[in-house]
Structure 1
Amino acid sequence: MKKIIVLSLLILASCANKKETKQIAEISCGLCQLHLDADECSLAVRFNDKAYFVDGFNIDDFGDAHDEKIGFCNVIRKAEITGVVKDGRFVASSIELIEE
């Protein structure tokens, strides 16, 4: 009986976990470009008309955020992102910039 209860709880827990999704999104500085409420520059993504700060990656992981041509504080770029929205933030497991 204990095994059945434990197995049932494991199945329920696995169903409750949101699966990561892979999609194309806009990526930039949440403060400077995506107009999220923040005290400092921080990496953010926008998809489905909603912007989220990113956990798992830093704004400078892709080069100088203040570079005039490619910096996230100056331009909005495209990326293929994988992750899940949790507690109003995007928890990213991978981000690959798409060069245009």
Structure 2
Amino acid sequence: MLALVFGVFAIGASAQTAPKKAASSKVVTKQVVDIACGECQFKMKGKDCELAVKIDGKPYFVDGKSIDDFGDAHGEHGFCNAVSKAEVTGEIVNNRFKAKEIKLLPTKK
């Protein structure tokens, strides 16, 4: 009987999970970054053409904005064919950029 009680207690204790780690994050405020298609221009692995920004030299896929929100991504100057500059505000969470604001900057000629 005593062994049964300890066995049930051991099973219950092992079923408990450790608390989850807080997601690593970094707030970005009005930082000028490179913006383009992650797969086509930044050579990131993905399933399809997807918007990405390069912050402090590291590329991140973007959540909250689509690659086509800024025009035809496959056009002559689209994100799949050219890297542009943008001023961004948001947060890097779990290696993705959660965009609050993206403002494309004029291209220099």
- TM range, smaller chain: 0.7 to 0.9
Match in the other structure for 1:55: 63
Amino acid at match of 2:98: V
TM-score by length of 1: 0.78
Secondary structure of 1:61's aligned partner: helix
C-alpha RMSD over aligned residues: 1.3
Quick one: distance in 2 between partners of 1:95 and 1:36?
A: 20
Larger radius of gyration: 2
Match in the other structure for 2:14: none
Amino acid at match of 1:41: C
Structure 2, unaligned stretches of length 5 or more? 1-24
Residues 28-59 of structure 1 show CA distances to partners (whole Å, capped at 9, x for unaligned) of: 00000011111110000002110000000000
Aligned partner of 1:89 among 75, 85, 96: 96
Amino acid at match of 2:85: K
Q: Is the 8 A contact 2:63 2:98 kept in 1?
A: yes
Secondary structure of 1:80's aligned partner: strand
TM-score by length of 2: 0.72
Match in the other structure for 1:38: 46
Structure 1, unaligned stretches of length 5 or more? 1-16
Quick one: distance in 2 between partners of 1:66 and 1:33?
A: 12
Match in the other structure for 2:72: 64
Number of residue-to-residue matches in the alignment? 83
Amino acid at match of 2:35: I
Question: Share of identical aligned residues, percent?
Answer: 51
Amino acid at match of 1:94: E
Amino acid at match of 1:87: N
Amino acid at match of 1:58: S
Runs of 4+ in 1 over 6 A off after TM superposition: none
